[in-house]
Structure formats: structure tokens, C-alpha cells
Structure 1
């Protein structure tokens, strides 16, 4: 029992210190050095969607209304299994529509079709949005400055546009914790930002080259990260370029979404961890190994519950040592300092009380994972697009 406890303590302790170090690093500012007065970038904004008839027209309309010259960007909806009337509405408001059909739909397949569609008139850079995303009004101007300043791969600051339920608030807080630790904190430590899957900007030819290598997976953003970091590319994080994203509002959709995410995480851990370790030892590629290591991390919400239980047991019994209590305090501190001050209000407290429900949903997600989870796309139902802020 003693050795099992020691092993468990070491494994969880590594993760807790990992979170804590990058959470502290994220407290420092991360400002990009930008070259002003550069010509505006020619963008293609790709919006892949699968049966997203309910929200896609509003998303495309808002993308067409950002403050950027219309002749310098195109909005292209990659319409997988959309209704004919939806396609007509999209074209009527000025969006381009590429209809795609696959026996087995994935986001990567749609994007690759979109990149092929652009071959005859390629843009300088690609912006990837999800079908519920809204760019901030000056988003394209900001990322144009960053792109012209030499940043070929940029993860923008994706943040919540809805906080209408306790689950949506938890999801929003989880996103900001990820921004703080895996994006801002990592860049401040000299490592690459994590990609999120949307709100991303890439140099066109570079993106096309790497997307062509993506296999049949539902976690295309994670595989793309692996390939880019393995080859020594750096992913930048632009904290002040905002994309607003709809957060899941119900426990059912939370569990459904996490099943897909966790399935992809397990898949990439199995297939990349040892390769990342090899590249760390033989080539000193810390960035690539760090990404592979992230695939071994326990989900943040689940670890909150686990550390809470262990911490309470540690305090009231002599079953464990007080080292566990210290570990719990460190982990909770890392989470708390990673949540933006603007989110600290009564609604957040009510959402925190909802964490046990989220943990149960997360455990259910883990139990539902099977071999098809990482390769089969399952859409998470969204109900609104909201207005850009």
C-alpha cells in the first residue's frame, strides 16, 4: 500500500507542479512585437460545419461584418450535409459556399477540400473558425499585424460568448485556465502555445502542407500540433485578438463533447508519447515532448475532484501524509490564479457548486470511450451565435 501511494503521489505530483509552474508563468504579460504600417494580409476565413443549419448563417454574416476591407478577405463555409435553403441564404449574404460530402465526415477532410478550393487563387493566410465562432470587430486587423510581423502560426484568444448556465460558466472558466496555462504561460516559458481547433491563423502554404498529413481523426488540431512541433515550428499566442466561442450549456452536451476530446487525447498519448520522448532525448526537442506529455494529463475538472477528496482524507486521518494536502493546495492555487479576475462573481460561485455534476459527466465520458471515439466526428449541438463584442 505504501509503495502504491508513493507512486500515485509522484505521478499526480508531477502534474500538479506542471500546472502550478505554468500558471505562475502566465501571470506575466505576453506582448507580441509588431511591425506597424505593413500592408494588409489577404485572408481566407474557412468555417467548416456539419449539419449546422441552425447557426451558420448568423456566423457567416458576422464574419462578413468585421472591420477589414472586403477585397482583402473571403469567407468560405465548408458545408457538410447542409440543407439547400441554408446554402442559398449563405450565398445571398455574400459568403462563398463549398458543399462537401463524405462517407465518413471529419473536420480535417472539410478543411482539406477548402484548401484545394483555394489553390487557383491562394490567400496569404488562413483563418479557421468553428460554426459558432464570432471574430471580434478588429480581429483581422490585429492578426494581420502579427502575421506581417513574422508570426506564421497564431492561436488567438478564444473566449466565451455565453455564460447562461452553470455548465457554460464552468466551460468558460476551463477555457480561460487553458489560455493562461497552455498558451500564455507556455509562451512566457519559451514553449509553443497550444492550438484549440478554432481562432487559428496559418500561412496558407504551410497549413496546406501539414493538413495534407492529417489522418482520419476527430482531433485534427492536436495532430497538427504534433506535426508542427516535431518539425521545430513555433506556435504563437495573441492574447488581445479575440474570437468568441459558444460554450456548452448542458451536462449532456458537456459529456458528449468530452467523450470526443478524451478519446482523441488517449489516441495521441498511445501513438505519440514514446516518439516525443525519443525526440527529447536524441534531438532535445522540448516543445514536441511537452505536447506529447500533455496527452498524459488527467482532465483538470476530474483532478479538482480527486485532489479535493484526497486532501480531505489527508486532513482528517493519518492514512496519508500531509504532503497530499500541500499538493491539493498547490493545484487549487494554480486553477484559481488562472481564472481571470473578471470572472470572479456570484455566478462563478454557483458554477463551482456544479463541479460534482461535471465530474460525474466526465467519468461517464471516460466510460463511453471506444476505438471509434478518436476517429468518428460527432457534432456538439449549439443553440446560439451571439454578437461579437
Structure 2
């Protein structure tokens, strides 16, 4: 019986730690800014001794209407040492016409149907001397200084860099909800970790890495079925000193604008979390055994449950504690309240004024995430594909 009680306490402490994590990171990041002066590679004059050659990969699947805008934003870069590789997987490319010789429009003979295969298809066709690869979704847009900033970071010695994702627009209720959540996670997984010197979480787009580092990654069938970025970052963090975050390297995407797309997107993310949970746990153990705090903390965050699940877990333990052990009940009430306060504080502190309206809709956002759990078993390539609607150019956004 004592062993069961001890195990229960350990499990509860582990799960509740994620509810306390935001307020801890918020306090430590402010302290780091006060006592540790860090200089961005962008602000160091004369730092760039080398002009890295970038291979920009755009993975398109069955849709091409967003390709002209992203290509336009790339061609308007202040830094011009790049080549573009568009993998038009299962696409009709008859309406696409690009004249710049640096643009490679690639159409696989047979459909690839996975991001990992599309990325590798592009890499296999890289021109000689390509040193850094950057991955984008077709609906992304790049700020004109994006590659210039990235070149600065690689000159500073980084081997993998995540860029700063911003919304193209925040005009509706669902876009405001989506952006409020994105602000919270961006602080938690990137801004705060950067302030403390830890590796940041990578998205599946806007991520750049040395081609020599990416060559170490080996994908399996699990990665080919979605959520490849989970496996990619788990591999990269163990091959580089730190995964950097470049807040000055801005790119844009379209936020979800309706309930259907919100639930479909979250269903994919939840599915990827459970699918790659063992891999995240392995990364954490590797970091512990190697005495590498950076890798261990990265793995600890990889196995972090989605926060709506954390809230459900907290409520469940509060109810159990009410009938069994009131100390447990009050502990979980305190943990839940601390999380809610930290969530609201982070959104208010780090999001634009318009995005703060999303806080009012958080109960609805929570409801849709619970509903998205029911969609996990659906066909992720069709039913759960996020639809994008707004064809905007970079000049419309900045």
C-alpha cells in the first residue's frame, strides 16, 4: 500500500509540474533579462564573414494557389544567396510559371503523400554547395530580412535555428483564439527557453538546419504518417549544442478561421503527441544519463501533455481528492489556478492588443480541443487536412 501511495504522489508531482512550469519560466526569464545580458547575432556589426547558401524547401500537396505568394516573398529577400525547391506532390502545375533560374519546380512521378519524403526529394536535388536548408509550408510568407537574419545566426555558430511565426492577420474570433494560444506556447517553448540558454521547440515550418546535421536524421513509418517535426527535433537536439530561436527572422502563416479547421488541426497535434510520446521519453532519459540538462529538459517538454488535457487531469484529481484526501484537492486547485494566472499573464504581456481578445473565448477554445480528441482516428490526409483560404502577398501583410 505504501508503494502505491508513493507512486501516486510521484505521478501527481510529475503531471502537476507542467501546470507550474509557465509561472516558473516567466519568473526565470525576467530574472535572466535583469542579470544576464545577451546580444542577438543580428545586432553585432561585421559579424557575417560567410555568405551561407540556403536551400529553401516548399512542400505542396494537391494545392498550388499559395505558391506564387511565397515565392514572391522569397525573391524579395535582402539576402540573395539561395535556391528554391518546390515539391509539387500530386499537384497540377500547368498554371505555374517561374522565370528565376534559382527556382526548381519539382513534380514527383508518383505521389509521395508525406512531408518527410517531399523534403528528401528536394534534398536529393540540391545544387552543389547548399549548406543550410529551410522548410516551409506553401501558405507561409517570409519577411524581406528573413534570410539575412538567418545568415547572421549561422555565422554566430548555430547549427539549427527556428524562426518566428506570426499570423498573416487576426480578424476573427477563431483567429484570435488561435493566436492567443500560439503566443502562450511561443513564450513557453521559445522565448523563455532562449533566455535560459535551452534549446527551443521546432515547428514543421520556418525551421532551418545545416544540411550536414539533417543528414543524421532517419525517419520511420511512424514519421511518414504525420507529426514528422516531433521526430526531427528529437534527433536534431541530440546532434547540436543548442537549437536557437531567431525572433528577428519573421515568417507568416494563416491562422485557423473556423471550428472545423481548429478541431482538425488540434486532432493532428494530439495524435502526434501520443504517437511520439515514447520518443520524447527516450530523449529525456538520454539527457539524464548523459548529464545533459539541455537535452533532458527538451525531452521533458516533448512528453508534456497538451494543456487542455492537463486541465482535465487537474479537475479529475480535484474531484478524487474531495472524496479521498483534501490535501490532494487543495494542491491541485492551487496548481490549476497558478496555471490559469500564468496563461493570462503571458498572453497579456506578449501578444498584440488585438490578440488579447482571444482570452475571452478560451472556454470555447477548450471545448473545441476536447471535441478534437474524437477526431484522432480519422483519416489525417483528407478529413483532417487544414484548409487555407486567404491568398495574400507579403506586401499585403507588412
Superposition TM-score tier, normalisation by shorter sequence: 0.7 to 0.9
Q: Is 1:171 matched up with 2:171?
A: no
Q: 1:149-174 CA distances to partner (integer Å, 9 max, x unpaired)?
A: 21110011112122121211121122
1:14 deviation in Å? 1.2
Identify if the C-alpha distance between structure 1 residues 278 and 307 changes in structure 2 by more than 3 Å, giving closer, same or farther.
Answer: closer
1:103 deviation in Å? 5.0
Contact in 2 for aligned 1:180/1:338 (Cα 8 Å): yes
Tell me how far apart the structure 2 counterparts of residues 176 and 251 of structure 1 sit (CA, whole Å): 19
What is the correspondence of 1:1-389 to structure 2 with a 5 Å cutoff?
9-27=12-30, 28-29=32-33, 31-33=39-41, 34=44, 36-69=47-80, 72-86=81-95, 88-90=96-98, 95-100=103-108, 102-103=110-111, 105-118=113-126, 120-210=127-217, 215-231=223-239, 233-273=241-281, 275-303=282-310, 321-339=329-347, 341=349, 343=351, 345=353, 348-349=356-357, 351-370=358-377, 379-386=385-392, 387=394, 388-389=397-398
How many residue pairs get aligned? The number is 379
What are structure 1's unaligned runs of at least 5 residues? none
Identify if the C-alpha distance between structure 1 residues 189 and 367 changes in structure 2 by more than 3 Å, giving closer, same or farther.
Answer: same
Identify if the C-alpha distance between structure 1 residues 100 and 329 changes in structure 2 by more than 3 Å, giving closer, same or farther.
Answer: same
Secondary structure at the aligned position of 1:243 is classed as: strand
Q: 1:297-339 CA distances to partner (integer Å, 9 max, x unpaired)?
A: 2323454677689999999xx9674433432332123223332
Contact in 1 for aligned 2:73/2:144 (Cα 8 Å): no
What are structure 2's unaligned runs of at least 5 residues? none
TM-score normalized with structure 1 length: 0.84
1:278 deviation in Å? 3.6
Q: 1:2-30 CA distances to partner (integer Å, 9 max, x unpaired)?
A: x7996775344211122322233344556
1:107 deviation in Å? 0.8
Contact in 2 for aligned 1:44/1:125 (Cα 8 Å): yes
Tell me how far apart the structure 1 counterparts of residues 204 and 61 of structure 2 sit (CA, whole Å): 15
Tell me how far apart the structure 2 counterparts of residues 19 and 263 of structure 1 sit (CA, whole Å): 23
Identify if the C-alpha distance between structure 1 residues 269 and 212 changes in structure 2 by more than 3 Å, giving closer, same or farther.
Answer: closer
1:372 deviation in Å? 7.1
For the aligned residue pairs, the C-alpha RMSD in angstroms reads 3.4
Tell me how far apart the structure 2 counterparts of residues 125 and 332 of structure 1 sit (CA, whole Å): 40
